[in-house]
Amino acid sequence: KAGVTQTPRYLIKTRGQQVTLSCSPISGHRSVSWYQQTPGQGLQFLFEYFSETQRNKGNFPGRFSGRQFSNSRSEMNVSTLELGDSALYLCACNPGQNTGELFFGEGSRLTVL
């Protein structure tokens, strides 16, 4: 069974640029969530998409956005990058039913210079 695939795994950007990260969930999993992990703040919830609609949103500025496609693949975008956006961005999926379990990818490591 294929797991959660995140691309790219590593990337380096400079301040002011924008970045797009991609997440392909497990087949049949309709919910995709995004998390930011930093040494200082730990794991923080960004947003969740279910059936192409944002269902939940964390406390992040509008520079962070996302979308979900009809095949459940999701992208997140960060515009006008700041040094503090350097982090591991994790994607998680679940079937959308009451199973309680999320499946995480290995993340995309973003470094902003």
Partner 1 sequence: DAKTTQPNSMESNEEEPVHLPCNHSTISGTDYIHWYRQLPSQGPEYVIHGLTSNVNNRMASLAIAEDRKSSTLILHRATLRDAAVYYCILRDVDSSNTGKLIFGQGTTLQVKP
**Interaction of residue 72 with partner 1, rule CB under 8 A:** no
Q: Residue count at the site for partner 1 (CB under 8 A)?
A: 30
Q: What is the C-alpha to C-alpha distance for residues 42 and 21, in angstroms, rounded to an integer? A: 19
Q: What is the C-alpha to C-alpha distance for residues 109 and 96, in angstroms, rounded to an integer? A: 27
Near partner 1 by CB under 8 A, which window of 11-19, 30-38, 63-71, 79-87? 30-38
Instruction: Please say which residue, 24 or 33, places its beta carbon nearer to partner 1.
Output: 33
**Interaction of residue 66 with partner 1, rule CB under 8 A:** no
Nearest in space to 25 (alpha carbons), one of 40, 12, 51, 6: 6
Instruction: Please say which residue, 45 or 60, places its beta carbon nearer to partner 1.
Output: 45
Site string for partner 1, 41-60 (x = CB under 8 A): -xxxx--x-x----xx-x--
**Interaction of residue 31 with partner 1, rule CB under 8 A:** yes
Interactions with partner 1, residue window 78-97 (CB under 8 A): 90, 92-94, 96-97
The footprint of partner 1 (CB under 8 A) covers 4, 31-33, 35, 42-45, 48, 50, 55-56, 58, 90, 92-94, 96-107
